[in-house]
Structures are given as C-alpha cells and as structure tokens.
Amino acid sequence: MISGTNDTRYAFVNGVIRAKEAKFLKKTHFERLIEADVDSFRLILSDTAYAGSGEFLNILSDIEKEEAAFFDKYCLHQEIKEMVFLPLKIHNLKVKLKNGGANLLYNIDVKELEEKKEILKIISDYLQHRNSFILSTELDKFLCKRIFELSKVSPFFFEYAQLYFDIENIRSFFRARTFENPFEIFKQVFIKYGTIPEKLFLDCLDKEPSAIFKALRNTIYAGLVEQGGAYLETHGSFLRLERISDEMRLNFLKKARYFTFGVEPLFSYYHFKTAEIKKLRQVYMGRQYNIPLAQLKESIPDVW
C-alpha cells in the first residue's frame, strides 16, 4: 500500500472522520434528486445535513464554510493546508484582476499571496499586456509548481499530485484541439510536473483522437482518453471527460480510508465532502434550469 505521513497526532480526528464519512450521501440520494423537481429536494435530503431552513444554495455555502473550518482546525501540516487553499486563493486573484463579481469569490483572503515576489511579477506583467489568457496560465504555472513542491511531504501526496497534473494535461490536450492554434495553446498550458512527456501530446495533437489512446493504452489513463475522447467526438461535449477525471481523482483519494494515522484521511475526507457539495449544486441548478436528465447523469462522478 502507498505510504503516508503516518502522523499519530491525527488519531483522534481520523476517528471523527470515519463517523462523518458514514454520513456521506448515497448514490440513491442523487438518483432520486436528478429525477425530482427542486421543491422535493428538502424531502429527499430530510435525513441529512442538507435539510436546514433557508435557500438551498445558501445551505450548501454554509456547510462548505463549516467543512473548510473543520479542515483548517485539524490539519497540522501547513504544506497540506496550502495545497488545499492555494487553488482557491489563485481563483480569487484571477477574479479580482479581471474585475469579476464578488459572487464569484471564495471566502478566503489573497493579501498574503499578492505580496509574494513571483505573484507581484505576474501582476505587473498583466498590467502591461492585459491578456487574460496569459494571466491565467502564469498563475496556474505558479500554482502547479507550488503544489509539486508541497506534495513531497509523503508518497501519497506526491502520487496524487502527479495524477492531478497528468489529468490536467490530458484535459488541456483535448481542449487545445478545438483552437485554430492548438500547438501554441497547448505549449502554454502544459504542466511539466506530471508523468506524461509533452512530446507525446504534441505528437498526437493534430492526429485522429485514436492516436492519444494508442499512446496511453498501457497506462491508467487509457479509459479517460478513450471514453472521454469518444464522447467528445460524438456529442461535442467534455462532460464525460470531466466526469471520468473527477472519478480518477476521487478513486485515488479513497486509498486514504485505509490509513489509521496521518493527515491523508482528513485531506481525502475534505475533498470528498466538497465534491459532494459540488454535485448537489450541479443537480439543483440543473433541475432549476431544466438541463436534460441525460446530461445531468453524465456529469455526476460515480464514486462513493
């Protein structure tokens, strides 16, 4: 089994996490929600933490904040806290620099991030070129480099980070193919910290979709590129690619459930809980705006 931090200081909170994991929503909850109208959500979720009073999306936001506070309180590894919260700070910084609405912001401050030398340089450059795409790619590169450095705290986190980088590069590969200048786009967004070399992607970029599958058929990513690529070709949608990407990440995190000690179970629990909230938001908004049921079902990761 992959090794973790094995930190005994987490013995108590990992016991709490086991009890909290038992309260995760079941697949049957989502099957019923997808078929129901939004007025029936409260009834279906009446025996869960989501049965509070008030507007449903506000309930989700409140629980999201509670879970972030729980993670922040019990996570004793600053490296792992940064791995979890830095992506949110980067998102907020992008929104702020692009003059996005306050409703797009996470409840987390970016002042400390803005004072970092690398970030100051990125902001300064952006104020000159005003290219939002370059801004996003430069901030993402900073984020990925930092996650790569932080992930060395244990083999579990290092392997998770490499999986994350590989999946992001595969997603970027398929998205770059939709542009007129795919090679230029892909080279700008490629993350160099994964296990799949850039050359492999570039060699397949202007070929039939089957080329990337053949190149990765002996890897764990074969199903992702084959199924996600085929759905994209037939439906013109990234839904399956996104769903399988989420499933791969969550299935890796499930390994932490076998750990008695260490920060890994807390990290895994937090990601599963935020994924659950994300799924509820997707279904609620989908039902509210009459998204076809087939699309909703396709978008929900099948990992429990």
pLDDT of 304: 87
pLDDT tens digits for 160-204?
Answer: 999 999 999 999 999 999 999 999 999 999 999 999 999 999 999
Residue 53 has pLDDT above 90, yes or no: no
In a domain, 121, yes or no: no
pLDDT tens digits for 231-269?
Answer: 999 999 999 999 999 999 999 999 999 999 999 999 999
pLDDT of 142: 98
pLDDT of 267: 99
Whose CA is closest to 166, among 139, 200, 133? 200
In a domain, 172, yes or no: yes
pLDDT tens digits for 274-296?
Answer: 999 999 999 999 999 999 999 99
pLDDT tens digits for 204-235?
Answer: 999 998 999 999 999 999 999 999 999 999 99
In a domain, 254, yes or no: yes
pLDDT tens digits for 87-126?
Answer: 999 999 999 999 999 889 999 999 999 999 999 999 999 9
Residues 195 and 167: beta-carbon distance below 8 Å = no
Using pLDDT thresholds of 50, 70 and 90, give the confidence band for residue 1.
Answer: confident
- Taking the alpha carbons at both ends of the chain, their separation in whole angstroms is 20
Tell me which residue has tokens 């690529």: 229
Residues 257 and 21: beta-carbon distance below 8 Å = yes
In a domain, 51, yes or no: yes
Residues 121 and 114: beta-carbon distance below 8 Å = no
Q: What is the 3-state secondary structure (H, E, C) of 227-285?
A: HHHHHHHHHCCCHHHHHHHHHHHHHHHHHHHHCCCCCHHHHHHHHHHHHHHHHHHHHHH
pLDDT of 209: 87
In a domain, 124, yes or no: no
User: What is the percent of the chain where pLDDT is above 90?
Assistant: 96
Tell me which residue has tokens 């990125």: 122
Whose CA is closest to 105, among 117, 97, 114, 113? 97
Range of the domain at 61: 8-76+154-299
In a domain, 113, yes or no: no
In a domain, 119, yes or no: no
pLDDT of 52: 82
Number of domain units in the chain: 1
**Considering the entire predicted model, what is its pTM?**
0.94
Using pLDDT thresholds of 50, 70 and 90, give the confidence band for residue 85.
Answer: very high
In a domain, 265, yes or no: yes
